[in-house]
Homo-oligomer: A and B are copies of this chain.
Amino acid sequence: MVDAAIRSGTHERECVFEVFARHLPGGRRYGVVAGTGRLLDLIADFRFTDAELEWLRDNEIVDDKAIAWLADYRFTGNIWGYQEGELYFPGSPILVVDGTFAEAVLLETLALSVLNYDSAVASAAARMVSAASGRPLAEMGSRRTGERSAVAAARAAFIAGFGATSNLEAGRSWGIPTMGTAAHSFTLLHDTEEDAFRAQVAALGVGTTLLVDTYDVPAAVELAVRVAGTGLGAVRIDSGDLPEQVAAVRRQLDALGATKTRITVTNDLDEFTIAALRAAPVDSYGVGTSVVTGSGSPAAGMVYKLVARKGSDGEWLSVAKRSAHKATVGGRKFPVRELDEAGRATAEVIHVGEPEAATSRHRPLLVPLMNAGVPVERYRGAAGTALAREHRAAAMAELPADALRLGRGDPAVATRYE
- Could you tell me which A residues sit within 8 Å of B by CB distance? 1, 3-5, 7-8, 10, 13, 15, 17, 42, 51-52, 55-56, 59, 61, 63, 101, 105, 108-110, 112-114, 116-117, 142-150, 152, 168-169, 171-172, 178, 180, 182-191, 195, 198-200, 202-204, 213-216, 238-241, 289, 292-294, 298-299, 301, 304-306, 309, 311-312, 319-326
A10 touches B190 (CB 8 A): yes
Residues of B within 8 A of A321 (CB): 184, 187-188, 213-215
A199 touches B5 (CB 8 A): yes
Closest chain B residue to A111, Cβ basis: B143
Question: Within the complex, which residue of B112, B198, B309, B326 is in contact with A189, where a contact is CB–CB below 8 Å?
Answer: B309
Residues of B within 8 A of A110 (CB): 147
Asked, given contacts A4-B199, A185-B305, A309-B189, whether A146 binds B172 with beta carbons under 8 Å apart, the answer is: no
A116 touches B144 (CB 8 A): yes
Question: Within the complex, which residue of B4, B114, B180 is in contact with A186, where a contact is CB–CB below 8 Å?
Answer: B4
The 8 closest A-B pairs by CB, nearest first: A8-B199, A146-B149, A4-B203, A112-B143, A239-B323, A148-B148, A185-B306, A113-B147
Cα A42 to Cα B214 with chains together (Å):
30
Asked, given contacts A112-B144, A168-B56, whether A1 binds B186 with beta carbons under 8 Å apart, the answer is: yes
A52 touches B172 (CB 8 A): yes
Closest chain B residue to A188, Cβ basis: B319
B145 touches A117 (CB 8 A): yes
A4 touches B146 (CB 8 A): no
A326 touches B239 (CB 8 A): yes
Closest chain B residue to A292, Cβ basis: B299
B299 touches A289 (CB 8 A): yes
B240 touches A312 (CB 8 A): no
Asked, given contacts A101-B189, A189-B10, A322-B216, whether A61 binds B147 with beta carbons under 8 Å apart, the answer is: no
Closest chain B residue to A121, Cβ basis: B146
Residues of B within 8 A of A109 (CB): 142-143, 147, 150
Cα A172 to Cα B54 with chains together (Å):
10
B299 touches A144 (CB 8 A): yes
B145 touches A149 (CB 8 A): yes
Residues of B within 8 A of A178 (CB): 59, 61
Cα A336 to Cα B279 with chains together (Å):
47
Cα A15 to Cα B190 with chains together (Å):
11
6 extra interchain contacts, Cβ-Cβ under 8 A, other than A7-B199, A13-B189? A5-B186, A15-B185, A105-B185, A146-B152, A184-B323, A240-B323
Cα A171 to Cα B52 with chains together (Å):
11
B145 touches A113 (CB 8 A): yes
Q: What would be 17 A-B contacts, judged by CB atoms less than 8 Å apart? A: A4-B199, A7-B202, A8-B190, A8-B199, A8-B202, A10-B189, A10-B190, A63-B203, A105-B186, A147-B148, A184-B323, A187-B321, A188-B319, A214-B322, A238-B326, A240-B325, A289-B299
Question: Within the complex, which residue of B8, B112, B189 is in contact with A5, where a contact is CB–CB below 8 Å?
Answer: B189
Cα A301 to Cα B288 with chains together (Å):
11
Cα A117 to Cα B373 with chains together (Å):
33
Residues of B within 8 A of A319 (CB): 188
